[in-house]
Structure 1
Amino acid sequence: MRERWPIKAVRKSEEAPRLSVGFILARHFTLNAFANFVDVLRLAADEGDRSRPIRCEWSVLSNTMNPVASSSGVMVEPNERLGDPSKFNYIAVVGGLIDEIPNLNPEYLRYLQRAAAAKVPLIGVCTGAFALHHAGLMDGYRCCISWFHHTDFLEQFDGLRPVSDQIFIVDRDRLTCPGGASTAHLAAFLVERHIGKAPAIKSLRIMMINEAEVEDSPQPSPILDLSTNDPFVRKALLLAQQSLDSPISVDQIAKHLGISKRRLERHFQRALGTSPQSAFIDMRLSLARQLIENTDKSFTMIAVECGFADSSHFSRMFRRRFACTPRDFRRLTLKPPSP
């Protein structure tokens, strides 16, 4: 399946677009992040959802014009070859699978460097921020990445401190966001900057997004404590977070990290003052509390989703941690009906 985006539709107005974005797609880029960005531009560019690039225009750039495969397998065809980057207001590089970022074609890196030299602001979407760093274009800039990739970033870029608790960051002529819904909010920020607030709000509402998030809005909570810089603890927490419904043992996680269970326990004790097992159970109970408070799922279903053997075991552990049963907690957090 190939997607064609409405790039070259004929404009009825002679007025030049007020916002123009060129996109570079890394191999196995995240389709959702790219589509969210483009759809905000598309919906802001014209009246209704007619998709004519009147107030905004966008183009997928390529050095070969070959279709680019997203991480989901959907192919996107480029619209034009690499040329003069200064024809755009922004150049955005959309990343995806982290292993592909070092494989970004050198022509793209040189193009990004030319864009920076021409003072064209650069945008890193998803792991696109990694690509900008590979190109040597983020020194001295703050950088927003997903909490999920925080450890990967620290491993690849010594001495740099990424921000993983905001929805996007605008630092002078570098704009970065962690992907997903944050991409729509960053695009809406640009629409509001160049075109106006009303088109930005319109785009988000058509996309079923209630309101625009500001730059320092927090990323959705990953329900785990990443405040420590200990790489073993951070990796262990992320591994545990990815398998909350079917918990993996401390032994398995230690083996995956290439260290002994005892050594992992020492790292947790120094970094968090607790054992790996206790930290993992707290993570599962925190998720359970969120589900009780924000959904109407049954306690049996919540127990299963949070990796507990049965609802009675879940209830005992929840009461031990929060000093009340799941049923009592739901009753206490129920919002009173509107008058």
Structure 2
Amino acid sequence: MNDLVSIIVPCYNSERYIDRCIKSIISQKYKNFEVLIINDGSSDNSLQKLEHWEHLDSRIHVISQSNKGRSSARNVGLNESKGKYVTFIDSDDFVSSNYLLDLLRGLSHGEDVSMVGLTLMDSHGECIKGDRRRNRKLEIDNNKVALKKVLNQRPDVEVCGKMFLKSLFSNIKFPEGLIYEDFLVCINAICLSDTVSYIDAPDYFYIQRNDNTINRSFDLKKMDIIKVGHEVERIVCNTFPDLSVLVKSRLFAAYSNVWLQIGDDNFKESSDILWKEIIDCRNLILLKKITNKKVLIGTYLSLLGRKNYKLLYLFYKHQK
């Protein structure tokens, strides 16, 4: 296989991390790729660094736009890409030298999507979660089985660490103006695919930064999870109606994760709205078979009421 792969990298104020990211990309053992880096209105020295790399390697193409968000940047990259396959790397993350080879191995039998393992790192490059020693086993599934795995977060819904047949994106765009966009796009792509592969290889290193949109403390933008969640539920249930309990259990976790970030009364209305979504999910999945242990525990803890649910969850998280 020697097909062109398009690597799309949205970049916003990543001067501290972008060199490491690009070095890991140009060190790939698979060489037939293009890198589309979309400078999304950076106000630091990111653009100067990007232009330096563009001058050094003809496979790197820098596109600048005013700050419109990660979804817009990825859509621009998709529009400009020429590869048969596409993969996404965030500018503060990095990948192993086998990243493209492993993902392409997962597509070598005609699959539409391939996935590799993700290792969670802190901003200093120290491993937080994930094991670099994996068995590199290749699993090939139909889209329904793959969807079950992703809804159970094995692996999770990030578009990073995955490679897609580019033609899938003729029917998919990243939703601009929303966060949690990966959740929606990943689920949609798998539902539209025929077969999906997963390789248990530690090829994508995700940097967990406290200042990024998802990890920072609660703000009203995080209420996007409800709009995204409802659309995910619609797509899954339209494609596989018998997975309604599984998607509800995944949404129970997603809504709970955001609700638990609300720490004071300044967001009481948002707290009430999210709690209602949590209870709606719980009422559908209660007494049903739930394979995710954390969701199972959370479902029954939520029966004790809002205050106790939060206290017991935080205690459980601290013990972990």
Q: Which has the larger share of strand?
A: 2
> What's the TM-score once normalised by structure 1's chain length?
0.34
> What's the TM-score once normalised by structure 2's chain length?
0.36
**Larger of the two Rg values belongs to structure:** 1
